[in-house]
Amino acid sequence: MWVNTIDPVLVHLGLLEIRWYGIIYVLGFFLSVWWLHYLSKKGKVPLKGEEIWDFIFYAMLGVLIGSRLFEVFWEPNYYLSNPFNFLKFWQGGMSFHGGFAGIVTASWIYCKAKKINFWQMADMMSFPTILALGLGRIANFANGELWGTVWSGKWCVVFPRYDDLCRHPSVLYSAGQRLILSGWLCWLTLKREFKRGFVFWNFVLWEGVGRFIIDFWREDVMVYGLTIGQWFSIIMIIIALRALLIGYRGELGKIFK
């Protein structure tokens, strides 16, 4: 058993607080910029210089807006009773599915405006996105949020800001799953040229599968026997499987050649 007494604030500077959560978002931003610059030099993305910064700005804006708007599915009373609560990013509460929908929408708008192939950018952004999300789960753990189900095993964790029960550290399970997936997506991106969209649909499929499984150890709002996150993940899995089986069958055989 371990008691999570981690301070979610890394540095206190009077009224200013530097939180782990914010650091992760900044790190994810610069990681994405570096990654696109790296791929630009290899000729894998059609963006250069300021265009990369512009694209990442659009993407991050989509993440922030989408992730907060989707939180209404989990805590409708909290957000609908006071819309200003949507702006309290420092308190955590960032929906993955909302952030995913937001970054896809924002990226599509940017690519359409700049006449860039959306699927090419979706593939190239899959690795840094899931890596940043994996690190974000570690920040969630530091915040003492996204609690697991009650459990008395050897590595159970008490979240004293919530209650005094020992629980599955499901948020760390999610972090591990996403870091593993980031390795897979990085390998696919750098290994060879696939049909555009293949890496992206791998992201959607395996993140959906991982979230669906791990949510069995997460305490969350239940709807018809599954968490809200699991229902959204089922949608991801179905759409990704359909896309891969219809449009990318030939690509599957390339993976281990």
The answer to whether the beta carbons of residues 243 and 197 sit under 8 Å apart is: yes
pLDDT, tens only, 212-227: 999 999 998 889 999 9
Quick one: the chain helix, strand, coil %, rounded to 5? 65, 10, 25
Mean of all residue pLDDT scores within the chain: 87
Q: What is the pLDDT of residues 128-162, one digit of tens each?
A: 999 988 998 998 898 888 889 999 999 999 999 88
For residue 226, what is the enclosing H or E element?
A: strand 226-227
Give 61's pLDDT tier (boundaries 50, 70, 90).
Answer: confident
**More confident call, 83 vs 36:** 36
Give me the pLDDT at residue 176, please: 96
Please tell me the predicted confidence (pLDDT) of residue 83: 64
Angle between helices 50-69 and 96-114 (to 10 degrees): 140
| Dihedral of alpha carbons 102, 104, 108, 111, sign | positive
Residue 79: the pLDDT is 60
The answer, yes or no, to whether residue 253 has pLDDT greater than 80, is no
pLDDT above 80 for 70: no
Cβ-count burial 103-136 (b if 16+ within 10 Å, e if not): bbebbeebbeeeebebbbbbbbbbbbbbbbbbbb
pTM here?
A: 0.87
Q: What is the mean pLDDT of residues 103-130?
A: 93
User: Which residues partner with 13 through β-bridges?
Assistant: 16
Q: How far apart are CA 99 and CA 82, in angstroms?
A: 21
Q: Minimal CA–CA distance to 171: which of 222, 133, 228?
A: 133
Question: Of 58-62, 79-83, 105-109, which gets the smallest average pLDDT?
Answer: 79-83
Q: Which of 56-70, 71-85, 188-202 has the highest mean pLDDT?
A: 188-202
Q: 119 or 92: which carries more pLDDT confidence?
A: 119
214 vs 256, more confident: 214
Report domain extents, the chain.
2-247
Tens digit of each residue's pLDDT (9 = 90 or more) over 5-33:
888 888 877 777 788 878 888 888 899 99
pLDDT at 55: 92
Statement: residue 75 has pLDDT above 70:
no
CA gap 202, 222 in Å, rounded: 27
- Mean pLDDT over 170-189 rounds to 96
Closest CA to 4 of 223, 236, 235, 166: 166
Q: How sure is the predictor about 236, in pLDDT bands with cuts at 50, 70 and 90?
A: very high
When pLDDT is averaged across residues 230-246 and rounded to a whole number, the result is 95
Could you tell me if 118 and 112 are in contact, meaning their C-beta atoms sit under 8 angstroms apart?
Answer: yes
Q: Are 107 and 121 in contact (CB under 8 A)?
A: yes
Nearest to 107 by CA among 62, 71, 76, 161: 62
